[in-house]
Amino acid sequence: MDFSLPPRVADAVGKVRKLFETDVLPLEAELLRRKSFKAILPELAAARQKVKAAGLWAPHVPVEWGGMGLSLTEHARISEELGKSPLGHYLFGCQAPDAGNMELLLAHGSPEQKDKWLKPLAAGDIRSCFSMTEPDLPGSNPTWLGTTAARDGDHYVINGRKWFTTGAEGSAFAIVMAVTNPEAPPHLRASQIIVPTDTPGFRIVRNVSVMGEPGEDWASHAEVDYENCRVPVSNLLGPENAGFFLAQERLGPGRIHHAMRWIGIAERAFDMLCRRAAERPMSPGKRLADKQIVQAWIAESRAEIDAARLYVMHTAWRIEKEGQHEARDAVSAIKFFTADVLTKVLDRAVQAHGALGLTDDTILSWLWRHERGAHIYDGADEVHKVSLAKRILGRYGVKDLDSPSGVGAPLGRVRDK
């Protein structure tokens, strides 16, 4: 088995690391100092131009759409590098939720939708958001939605309330999950519809403050009201009533991107843990590194991060070779396994820094605030555990287990619908 990186990926990793030193980490320091994403937008735009000039823009996007055209496994490796700073994915044009929306449009957009929305999105000229979760119903059950899209001639009229629509502020359009056929079986009720944010009736109620951060621009999570939002039927993405399957399909590669981003964050935290252990004097002639419990944290973190990386890369490889459906057990497992490694390593790094770890003088507290959500978004850990266990037990003849979430439904079968 050959674990070496293909030359073009190794080359890209080297270039990404250089840009991190010259541009990304200084900008990250500015973000911490000014505590405002909006305030550094001009500097971010200039850095994005440098990324484009270096030929590193949008690694996951095909070359004909202006990206690097990397495969899933290749992009996974780059995603780890970019994850080492909260600004990495944004600066290289592959940030959530835009990356997933680009993939959706590539796979299911009509030629007109691609021209109108994918082109400027892939170029980084506009941003987008994904509006599925609702405040009053469980996001863990994506087949149960209150938002409706009623057909009225050549239009859909959308009504409902969403929240945690990441990056809605400043977005040009939202992809909205709404019920188009309430009488159908649960998995066949909803559709995904493109709603330009200047559509009358689209209203950002508020940016939801998360862990003490009000949020702004891309770095925000909005509550959004859709009140009689009228959009043409041509804004439907993929087949009508296939919204659930599109969402599942969107989440497969998305989980690889997120999981590798988490590994990048864990590597950054691990580096900070080791530096702190090596540098912090604890008593005359003794450092934190001399404490055996800290040595254990370091050894365990190393093994856990490496195991998670191998698991995620193998899952990406399986998605490429066998398809999402065949790889779905692994896709579920890497979600909760990697989220767990991330928060464990991050917590050890915070702990090793003592009070400093809680301050905004290092990136650790920012990472902790923003990444605790890893256990919740992209399917709560428990949902993945339950659905994985259910599938495994099914192979042992246990068929009558409750599956309230629908997450155990087949992945990647959109075109069958």
Ligand X SMILES: Cc1cc2nc3c(=O)[nH]c(=O)nc-3n(C[C@H](O)[C@H](O)[C@H](O)COP(=O)(O)OP(=O)(O)OC[C@H]3O[C@@H](n4cnc5c(N)ncnc54)[C@H](O)[C@@H]3O)c2cc1C
User: Applying CB under 6 A, which residues contact ligand X?
Assistant: 97, 130-133, 138-140, 164-166, 221, 373, 376-377, 380, 382-383, 386, 404-405
For ligand X, the closer CB: 37 or 164: 164
Beta carbons of 259 and 308 less than 8 angstroms apart: yes
For ligand X, the closer CB: 210 or 356: 210
Beta carbons of 106 and 65 less than 8 angstroms apart: yes
CB of 297 to ligand X, least distance (A): 26
The two three-digit tokens of residue 387, written as one number: 């659905």
For ligand X, the closer CB: 316 or 380: 380
d(CA 378, CA 264): 18
d(CA 67, CA 122): 7
Beta carbons of 178 and 230 less than 8 angstroms apart: no
Beta carbons of 89 and 82 less than 8 angstroms apart: yes
Q: Which of 252, 250, 319 shows the shortest CA–CA distance to 100?
A: 250
CB of 180 to ligand X, least distance (A): 17
CB of 177 to ligand X, least distance (A): 7
- DSSP labels for 47-64? HHHHHHHTT-S-TTS-GG
Beta carbons of 202 and 195 less than 8 angstroms apart: yes
Place of tokens 């990441």: 166
For ligand X, the closer CB: 190 or 383: 383
For ligand X, the closer CB: 222 or 242: 222
For ligand X, the closer CB: 9 or 99: 99
CB of 374 to ligand X, least distance (A): 8
Farthest CA pair distance, the chain: 80
3-state secondary structure of 130: strand
Q: How far is CA 368 from CA 156, 207, 270, 371, in A?
A: 40, 20, 14, 5
CB of 156 to ligand X, least distance (A): 18
Chain residue whose CB lies nearest ligand X: 139
Place of tokens 């939801």: 208
Beta carbons of 147 and 155 less than 8 angstroms apart: no
CB of 271 to ligand X, least distance (A): 24
Q: Which helix (H) or strand (E) holds 369?
A: helix 364-371
For ligand X, the closer CB: 15 or 385: 385
For ligand X, the closer CB: 156 or 163: 163
CB of 241 to ligand X, least distance (A): 19
Q: Which of 97, 113, 101, 98 shows the shortest CA–CA distance to 231?
A: 113
For ligand X, the closer CB: 255 or 276: 255
Would you say how long the chain is, in residues?
A: 417
CB of 218 to ligand X, least distance (A): 11
For ligand X, the closer CB: 332 or 405: 405
CB of 138 to ligand X, least distance (A): 3
CB of 134 to ligand X, least distance (A): 8
The two three-digit tokens of residue 107, written as one number: 């796979």
